[in-house]
Amino acid sequence: MRRRSLLGGGLAAGAGLVGGLTATPLSAWAAADAPAAEITVDQARTAPIPIVIPSFGPGIGEQITQVVTNDLSNTGLFKVLPGSAMSGTPDFAPYKAMGAHAAVTGGFSGSGSIRVEFRLWDVLAGQQIQGTAYTTNSANWRRIAHIMGDVIYQRMLGEKGYFDTRIGFISRSGSVHQPRMRLAVMDQDGANCRILSSTQTKLPAFSPVRDQIAFLSYASSVPRIYVFDLASGHQRIIGDFNGVPLGPHYSPDGNTLVVPVAKGSGSDLYSVNIASGAKRQITSSGGAINVSPSFSPDGSQIVFNSDKGGSPALYIMSASGGAARRLSYGSGHYGDSVWSPRGDLIGFTRISGGQFSLGVMNPDGTGERIMTQGYTVESPSFCPNGRVLAFSRGGASGGAAIHTIDITGFHERAIPTPEGGSGPTWSPLNV
């Protein structure tokens, strides 16, 4: 099944068949319409939602249960309670006695072709919130689990989840001084990791609308920007530059890359049309170093890092170029910058007093706050709903690993990878 072939996360009004997965709504077994989400994310951070997740059966059924449980638990927004497998309308009294606010019922059947029935219940109201049956090849069981987790997240919190997503990154092995760095991709929980390149690569960027990752390659003596198509496995060069290209970044519509290009002692930002390869310079550095560009969600502005004021700081300008306004005024040197897909925050890294930090600020530069610190902390990337950041954390020994953290600074966790990992870039939802 192609990764981005999916219909509506189980929320479709009618049955559908896309990419080998069928999602069929199940009729409600309780009266009245499903209630709207009444719990906000901020409320759930303070008091995680107690939800009963039963076993969906032996074998694959139990694996589905574990993935859904992990997805919800890792957010810090849900408190998962065990329960007995059942179908039909549950007896809500025991669930209320457990303190549960929501419960899941359903089951798993089949072998080569599998069917997973899933119902989400509001325990306090005694109503079915969601009912869907998923039918697909057994190899896709993990996707079904992530989709179910996203449905629960959206129904309970009123905004889309981010479990059915992937993270592109650089898989690192070898010595500290001569690391082997290859392009890789994995599910957001670290499963299904696969290496995509055999040559040295850096600074990947996931397309917001296509199965593509742009990256910097050292396959030849001249560093070049490539675009890798995940569906076909094909890759192509995005032209040549009169200088050394650095890490690319996609526009929200996926049609343009902004690429920093180093010349002499400085670097400038270039806008590159992916289809035609046409390039346009959008900054005039005058010897300054302009790097780490990131578009606003509406595509109208770019935040980037520049040392034109004397030390590296964050600036904002129109996506078409022109005058830039300084955004950051904290102590130390600012590094990476990334705009949240929600538009409400800009993530950044900063070095101050020999300490690396990861933080966020408002798009007008106010409200700056640090979420985590470390020996090295770099390459932040937001998940599609803007609630979590992936980043790379390094140690004194030179290794690096992919971590995620909630935008409040809580629930930091490491994502397991076969080798070391750096430069994470989060995909959009696989829809």
Count, in order, helices (H) and strands (E) of the chain: 4, 32
Query: Residue 349 — very low, low, confident or very high, per pLDDT cuts 50/70/90?
Result: very high
- Give residue 5's pLDDT: 32
Distance of alpha carbon 188 from alpha carbon 425, whole angstroms: 10
- Contact in structure between 349 and 330 (CB atoms under 8 Å): no
Nearest Cα neighbor of 223 from 255, 267, 256, 254 is 267
The pLDDT mean for the chain works out to 89
Burial class of residue 66 (count of CB atoms within 10 Å of its CB; 0-12, 13-18, 19+) = middle
What is the spatial distance between Cα 347 and Cα 120, in angstroms, rounded to a whole number? 34
Selected residue with higher pLDDT from 430 and 371: 371
Are 332 and 350 contacting, i.e. CB atoms less than 8 angstroms apart? yes
| Position 137, amino acid | N
Q: pLDDT tens, 245-284? A: 999 999 999 999 999 999 988 999 999 999 999 999 999 9
* Res 7 pLDDT > 90: no
Give tens-digit pLDDT for 61-114.
999 999 999 999 999 999 999 887 666 788 899 999 999 999 999 888 888 899
pLDDT for residue 305 is more than 70: yes
Answer yes or no: are the C-beta atoms of 384 and 402 closer than 8 Å.
Answer: no
**Same fold for the pair 8-157 and 166-426:** no
Q: Identify whether the C-beta of residue 116 lies closer than 8 Å to the C-beta of residue 106.
A: yes
pLDDT at 338 over 80: yes
Is residue 19 predicted with pLDDT exceeding 70? no
Number of C-beta neighbours around residue 195 at 10 A: 12
What pLDDT score was predicted for residue 16?
Answer: 39
Q: 175 vs 307, which has greater pLDDT?
A: 307
In the chain the first and final C-alpha atoms are separated, in Å, by 12
- Which pLDDT belongs to residue 431? 55
At residue 176, the pLDDT reads 77
What pLDDT shows up at residue 51? Answer: 97
- Which homologous superfamily does the CATH classification assign to the domain defined by 166-426? TolB, C-terminal domain (2.120.10.30)
Query: Residues 6 or more apart from 139 whose CB is under 8 A from it?
Result: 1
pLDDT tens digits for range 385-427: 999 999 999 987 778 999 999 999 999 999 999 999 999 999 9
Q: Which residue type occupies 115?
A: R
Pairing of strands 49-54, 78-83: parallel
Which residues, listed in sequence order, are joined to residue 337 by a DSSP beta bridge? 348
CATH 3.40.50.920 describes domain 8-157: no
Per-residue pLDDT tens for 108-167? 888 889 999 999 999 999 999 999 999 989 899 999 999 999 999 999 999 999 999 999
**Residue 35: its pLDDT value, please?**
52
CA distance 157 to 160: 8
Give tens-digit pLDDT for 220-255.
888 999 999 999 999 999 988 989 999 999 999 999
Q: Does the pLDDT at position 11 exceed 80? A: no
Q: Domain extents for the chain?
A: 8-157, 166-426
